[in-house]
Each structure stands twice: as structure tokens, then as C-alpha cells.
Amino acid sequence: MVYARSWRKLIICILITLKVNGLYVQITYIKSSVAKGAVCLDGSPPAYHLDKGFGSGINNWLVHIEGGGWCTNVTTCLFRKNTHLGSSKKMVTEIAFSGILSNNKQFNPDFYNWNRIKVRYCDGASFTGDLEKVDPVTNLHYRGARIWLAVIEDLLKKGMKNAEYALLSGCSAGGLASILHCDSFHALLSIGTKVKCLADAGYFVNLKEISGREHIKSYFNDVVTTHGSVKNLPTYCTSTMKPSMCFFPQYIVHGIRTPLFLLNAAYDSWQIRNILVPGVADPHGYWLSCKLDIKNCSSIQLQTMQGFRMEFLSALLGQRSSSRGMFINSCYAHCQSEMQETWLQDDSPVLDNTPIAKAVGDWYYDRRSFQKIDCPYPCDKSCHNHVFGHN
């Protein structure tokens, strides 16, 4: 009994310490947006977490968009609406801020005292969908584009309209959203605001899976069609090719005017697992062990993954510009800005002896440009390669 009581006291002290240090941030629901139809898949209000800036960062704003894939049809969206990725009713009310969202100068030296926001993702189409009609049977709301505007308008009222510096960032599907909405984010802020964007693991490439089928092209087409996303994709792209192709960054980044930093692993673990070798392309599970841990890959599988890297770089390198930042390491990873161990700590990934946090900070503040691409796997010993469980 005494032992259990001591442990409870210790846990309470740890939780209090975490709260004092600002590591856990309370949720904010935008209830006023419901009347405008800016709602999650299930009709609940959108939400975000805001940790207010302080000191010299009080007028600086970092808006970070949560990731979480997409839903492609009624069936997958119905499943999604009963999770935190489709309903704010299912979201935890407090989340930990770390990495690029940390309030600790040691771990996030360039953005620690900014107003830091994590936008919760509950629409399933990287905030691009907008269909007015709601099927009364499913009660699915495809309103991602409205959510995006509702969040930004709410933040503008809370002081972002006076921003001196602003950065839009995101991870995975949120990283894609930061690309798709980069220029519109810039346009909604004051003329004098210094605005840039960061896409972490958001550069999804159009390539065939190992059996030769165009799985991801069909997948993104279903997303765009289901959510009615066409009108919210860049017109300079949709006017020249099939609109769903404009969900791929390689076909739109050339038209983005706002400075953009691309942070990505050349062996992006999500893309290897879902674009190069989706489950339907490997019915017998020959790739299962390899996809769980890159160290388990055979020489033939590694050769295939090296081919993926070359196609990824080919889709990337044609999009260089002087204002663009680039940190492309040779890790088996996905999303490296949110986790402290990959963003900035003693053993975090580096390129040119530079950790991700410093590369992004130097680029944002124009201290130096940063466009680095790693040598092929397994040359980089600083990687934190993902190891997945069988589930």
C-alpha cells in the first residue's frame, strides 16, 4: 500500500512538472465554425492546440498541421469519422508538444518562444474537400477547405493578424497540406509578415508499385473525387492535367511563390510501405519483414528501394529554386520534425554535420541556404530508422 502510494505521488509530481514546463497543451474547439459548415467528417467542430508565445517571440506564429493519411470513399470515411482523425469528439483534450513545437530553447532554439499551434486533422483530404450536400444516411461532411479557413480566421483574431514572422508546417498528410495551402496562408497574413512553409514527409511521389500498377495515382484520384477537392487545388495545375494529379507535390511546387522547405527521408517509410509495396502488391507477404525493419531487407529488396530513392529524387530535383530549402536524408523514416530525437538532440540525424532544427532555422532566418541530399543507404549512421511492430 505504501509502495503504491509512493508511486502515485511520483507520477503526480511528473505530471505536474510536465504541465509546468508547458509540454502538454489544451485543446481549443472552434464551435462558431459549425454554423458555417466548417466541420469534421462527423459534423463536430474543428480543433487546435495553442501554446502562446512569449518574450521576443510573442508576435511570431508557427502553425503545424497534424498528419494521418486520407479516406478515399464512403466506407473508409465512415470508419475514420469514428476516430480522432474524423471527429473532435474523439480527440484527447491535451497533447504533448515536442520537436518543432517544443517551448524549450535547448531543444527548439529558433521557434521555442513563438506562438505554436498544432491543427488537428479531421477531414481526411489534407484540408481540400468542400461538398455542400450531406448524405443523411452516412452524415459524412467533406469540408476540409472550410476547416482550414475557420482555423486561420480564428488564429488571426487571436493575434496572428499582427504576426511579424510566420511558418506553416505539417507532417505527412499535414506536410502535403502545408504545400497545398502555402500560398493561401501567405495571402491571409499581413503584407509585412515574413512567411515561409515547411513540409515534413509531405512530398508524396507518383510512381508505380512493384507489380507495375499505378496504385497511388488511383488512390489520390479517389480522395479528390470523394471529397470534391478539385476546386481547392492549384488552377495552374488542374488546367493542364487531370485534377487528381495535382495532389502530388511534384506537379505543383514549381508554382508556389512562398519560400518552401522540403524535409523528407529518401526512403520514406510510409511511401515504401504504401506506395512502392502496398499490401495488394505483396499478397504472400514476401516484403513484410523488410517493411517492418530495413535491416531485414534482402539485397534484391534493397535494390528495389534504391530504385525508389532515384525516382523520388528525380521527382524532387526538377523543382529546385534559390528560395527553397531541402533536407533529404537516407533514413527509413517518416516525419522528423515532431519528435525530439529527430528534430534536435545529441544524436539526432544530421546532413553536413547539421541537425534538422538548425537547417530549418538557418533557412528561415536567412542565415544560410540549405539544400542537401544524403548519400544512399546505408551510408548515414545518424539515422533513426523506423522499426515497426507486426500490427
Catalytic position from the list 88, 98, 169, 172: 172
DSSP secondary structure letter of residue 301: H
* 130, 232 contact by CB (below 8 A): yes
Beta strands 371-373 and 325-329 are parallel
Which SS3 state, helix, strand or coil, does residue 263 take?
strand
Phi then psi dihedrals of residue 48, to 5 deg: -155, 170
Residue 215, amino acid: H
Confirm whether 172 is a catalytic residue.
Answer: yes
* 115, 53 contact by CB (below 8 A): yes
| DSSP H/E element including 157 | helix 144-157
Neighbours of 219 (CB within 10 A): 18
Neighbours of 21 (CB within 10 A): 12
Confirm whether 334 is a catalytic residue.
Answer: yes
Beta strands 371-373 and 24-29 are unpaired
Residue 384, amino acid: H
Confirm whether 322 is a catalytic residue.
Answer: no
CA dist 197 to 56, 147, 327, 373, Å? 21, 19, 14, 19
Catalytic position from the list 42, 51, 200, 268: 268
CA dist 260 to 116, 179, 200, 256, 353, Å? 19, 8, 11, 8, 22
Evaluate the omega torsion of the peptide bond into residue 378 and state whether it is cis, within 30 degrees of 0: yes
Catalytic position from the list 334, 348, 374, 386: 334
* 182, 75 contact by CB (below 8 A): no
Catalytic residue ranges: 172, 268, 334
